[in-house]
Amino acid sequence: DTATCGKVFYSASAVSAASNAACNYVRAGSTAGGSTYPHVYNNYEGFRFKGLSKPFYEFPILSSGKTYTGGSPGADRVVINGQCSIAGIITHTGASGNAFVACGGT
């Protein structure tokens, strides 16, 4: 999966790295650094994530290309389900308040 969030393009390897990190934390029941990520994503926006079912978890995907380890999460998130399948990539960029919109290509 590749995605474009605002003006930021994420390669398939970047999406995969972020989703794999999220999966490892979910399976271990832990979070990145002192952060709250990954955490349950309630999908108040009503996205249809490739027909996948909840629970969903959101985890930052960083424009720097590095894997999130704590600190500022930025605007963009990879979403996985409980089986660690990539559900989609979402962003706060262009959304109102604390809501999300889908990134292009997802």
Catalytic residues, by residue number, are 39, 58, 92
CA distance 19 to 89: 10
Gap between the terminal Cα atoms of the chain: 7
96: exposed, middle or buried (Cβ count in 10 Å: 0-12, 13-18, 19+): exposed
Closest CA to 88 of 7, 15, 31: 15
Per-residue tokens: 70 = 């704590």
